[in-house]
Structure 1
Amino acid sequence: MQDQQKPKPNQQGRNLSKKTSLALPQIPDKIYFTIGEVSKLCLLEPYVLRYWEQEFPQLNPAKRCGNRRYYKRDEIILIRRIKSLLYEEGFTIEGARIKLNSDDKAPMATGGQSTESIKKIIARLQEVVAELERD
């Protein structure tokens, strides 16, 4: 019974942190975020973010005056994805890098709909717009 209450170890034998199951704060509606803001939004230390920049080529924040990092919303989403792969799903850094690369090459997620059905929906919406413009 005691085994059920312990966190499961990931592939490297470390215990998964309870911190990863906490709900992440909502990302504010703005263009750029400092490393301190991203640290709070992702519940990670700034040194972890700097390290991940070296390990994940997709993560490349803009650097301005004095080499300060400025992250965009999509980079915060990427950081949260990396965090999930490493801390929740138990991937190694190399495994997470491979997973992210394969996700980039995969077709864009469409909620289970094929490209053809999406084209039909677009055509139907265009018909509706045309009808509304006639009225």
Structure 2
Amino acid sequence: MENYKPNSTLPPIPAKRYFTIGEVSELCGVKAHVLRYWELEFTQLKPVKRGGNRRYYQHHEVLLIRRIRQLLYEEGFTISGARGRLDNFVEPQMDAHQVKLSKQNLSLSEIRREIHDLLGILKA
């Protein structure tokens, strides 16, 4: 597979609320058409769709896509096997201290960018 990277070499997920399909593609090392196909196969994957059928993924969905990718590409599961495995997958929950630290790590420019992104989504 071209441009394949193990999960350990994927870029960190930025602290923002919504990601476009192109951003998710880069963050997860999976092409956009594969992401669209996975939406059909994995019911847990439900990005928000706005004008022009544009998809916006949230942080937890990016984590889910990375998990699906790991199951399929690194652990060798089939789609149905990965689906069964995900039924047992529980997203790691952050404790109150981790949430506080995560919020403190947002810089003013990141907050401005997120607000700008949200305004763009609302206008669509």
TM-score, scaled relative to structure 2 = 0.68
Deviation at 1:28, TM superposition (A): 0.7
> 1:33–1:72: 8 Å Cα contact kept in structure 2?
yes
SS at match of 2:49: strand
Q: Which runs of 5+ in 1 are unaligned?
A: 1-15, 111-135
Q: Which runs of 4+ in 1 moved over 4 A?
A: none
Name the CA distance, whole Å, in 2 between partners of 1:17 and 1:64: 30
TM score, norm. by length of structure 1? 0.63
More helix by share: 2
Does the C-alpha gap of structure 1 residues 18 and 69 become closer, same or farther in structure 2, counting only changes over 3 Å? Answer: closer
Secondary structure of residue in 1 paired with 2:72: helix
Bigger relative contact order (CA 8 A; separation at least 6): 2
Kept in 2, the 8 Å contact 1:42–1:80? The answer is yes
Q: Which runs of 5+ in 2 are unaligned?
A: 94-124
Partner of residue 93, structure 1? 79
Aligned equivalents of 1:18, 1:89: Cα separation in 2: 18
Query: Is the 8 Å Cα contact of residues 61 and 71 (structure 1) preserved in structure 2?
Result: yes
Identity of aligned residues (%): 58
